[in-house]
Structure 1
Amino acid sequence: MAMTGLIKATGGRGVFLVAALSLTLLAACGEQRSALRAPGALDDYSAEQIYQLAETEMDGNKLDNAAYFFGEIERLYPYSSWAKRGLIMQAFAYHRAGDYDNSRSAAQRYVDFYPTEEDAAYAQYLLALSYYDQIDDIGRDQGLTFKALQELRRVIEVYPDSPYAESASLKFDLAFSHLAGKEMEVGRYYLKRGNYTAAINRFRVVVEQFQTTTYTPEALMRLVESYLALGLNDEARSAGAILGYNFQSTPWYADAYALLQGHGLSAEPVGENWLSQIYRQVIRGEWL
């Protein structure tokens, strides 16, 4: 009641001063902060005041509260400049909290509503990170990796001059290599169990689709190993030829060369198989 009386006594300026004081007090008290999340509790606050409250919560690492308050600006003042700023900050707060689904949702709304704004590039980058930061090991399902690649590519292609394009490019290469690593892991699994055809299919994917990754030399050597096991010498020799042409200084070529020599074979393209075709394209500088 005393607070209400003070507002009436001091007029409009008093309203702002009292609200500012309230923000300070509420930031210091957890129970009062929670009370501000009750329905209608922020209806009398300006967009700027809510934004400042959200920033205070961010500074105190109260990320869930911060994200909530940033979102309230969009709800209460949807057409204000503060709503636009609050939306990108909400995406950031959720991401810091590890709430990737909500971060992605907020970032996507920003990209949809403000595609030409300066922060649109960062919103797209956050959207990509919401997938990328969940790629933790090769053994997991790779659906997240594919989605990360798609969103990182958008950063690179749509916002090439942004400060985030270079980082997105680096992360794209790492995610791309991650997929190749998954194919190699499965291929090695089949190879160890003597399922050579299934192994070849995996190693072929690496050679044809992930040839820019560091896994390519091993994939070619494993193809030599698998084809020799099946008695398909032409394919084994062709794989060895590609390996020798592009990666002669690697231990993988030394291993493939020894395997071929052990069978009385040389590393050179033979026949009309898919590997001999790739070899001819390599010679002409047309690597797939």
Structure 2
Amino acid sequence: MKKLLLLFTIVLLVSGCSLFESSHEMEKSAEELVSEGSSAFMDEKYKNAIKAYTDLKDWYPFSKYAILAELKIADSYYHLEKYDEAVLAYEAFEKMHPKNDAVPYVIYRTGLCWFNQLDTVDRDQTPAKNSMDQFKRLIDQYPESEYVQEAEEKIQLCVENLSAHEFYVANFYYKTKKYKSALKRYESLVTNYPNSKESKEALNKIIECRALANKI
């Protein structure tokens, strides 16, 4: 019985402390938190910005600053190069506020999150494909957006990466004498990336592969 009473007393003390800390923290107004977050963001202290904006969003979800907090949390993750977290935050923002004026910016930033993860042509090209999808969506849905020109330029870079990757894989099959597999890759390259520099080389390789494949 004494043990139970002692445990109950400890629980009350701990609960009392947490309630006190919570009420103490809540003394910060929404305005103070947005100011704190903005200052941290401007000073490139993005982890501090995330903390302030998250508190703002959690404590004052109906504040006029809550939407700003959601966007700045995503931007902070972006600047920290935590792209997975940034993508999730941007996507959540678009889902919650599909008519918001910031949506074109959000789509562009989502594309940048993937674009910034582009790797060499011998590696997985998922980032190139995903970034291109986002940039194309931006152009289709918001053709008057200020980000369209930059999106178009980055799409071209994604195409170059994807074309070079396809050529790399096709050449690998060719060198290992898997001519039928190489032929499919070369043909796919010419079909999907007809204006790339690799497509011109692929045309010659297609002729070679067809001749070699027939000998097998």
State how 1:1-288 maps to structure 2 within 5 Å: 42-230=25-213
Distance 1:82 1:201 in 2: 54
8 Å Cα contact 1:88/1:110 also seen in 2: yes
Equivalent residue letter for 2:139: I
| Residue 182 of structure 1: how far off its partner (Å) | 1.1
| Residue 41 of structure 1: how far off its partner (Å) | 5.9
CA 1:180–1:82 in 2, change beyond 3 Å: closer, same or farther? same
> If the length of structure 1 is used for normalisation, what is the TM-score?
0.63
| Residue 207 of structure 1: how far off its partner (Å) | 0.9
Distance 1:171 1:42 in 2: 44
Aligned pairs, how many?
Answer: 195
Distance 1:74 1:201 in 2: 52
8 Å Cα contact 1:196/1:230 also seen in 2: yes
| Residue 225 of structure 1: how far off its partner (Å) | 2.6
CA 1:231–1:109 in 2, change beyond 3 Å: closer, same or farther? closer
Higher normalized contact order (CA 8 Å, seq sep 6+, divided by chain length):
2
8 Å Cα contact 1:125/1:168 also seen in 2: yes
Distance 1:50 1:215 in 2: 53
Question: For 1:188-225, what per-residue CA distance to the aligned partner results, in whole angstroms no more than 9, with x for missing partners?
Answer: 11112222111111101101112133321111122123
Distance 1:39 1:178 in 2: 51
Please say which of residues 184-193 and 166-175 is displaced more in the overlay: 166-175
CA 1:40–1:209 in 2, change beyond 3 Å: closer, same or farther? farther
8 Å Cα contact 2:49/2:76 also seen in 1: yes
8 Å Cα contact 2:34/2:53 also seen in 1: yes
Equivalent residue letter for 1:80: S
Distance 2:24 2:208 in 1: 69
Name the structure with the higher helix share.
Answer: 2
Equivalent residue letter for 2:43: G
Distance 1:41 1:137 in 2: 51
Equivalent residue letter for 1:127: T
8 Å Cα contact 1:207/1:219 also seen in 2: yes
Distance 1:176 1:157 in 2: 18
Equivalent residue of 1:215, what SS? helix
**Structure 2: 5+ residue stretches without partners:** 1-20
User: What residue is the counterpart of 2:11 in the other structure?
Assistant: none
Equivalent residue of 1:105, what SS? helix
Distance 2:23 2:108 in 1: 33
8 Å Cα contact 1:91/1:126 also seen in 2: no
Identity of aligned residues (%): 24
Equivalent residue of 1:116, what SS? coil
What RMSD, in angstroms, separates the aligned Cα atoms of the two structures? 2.0
8 Å Cα contact 2:119/2:125 also seen in 1: no
- Pair member with larger Rg: 1
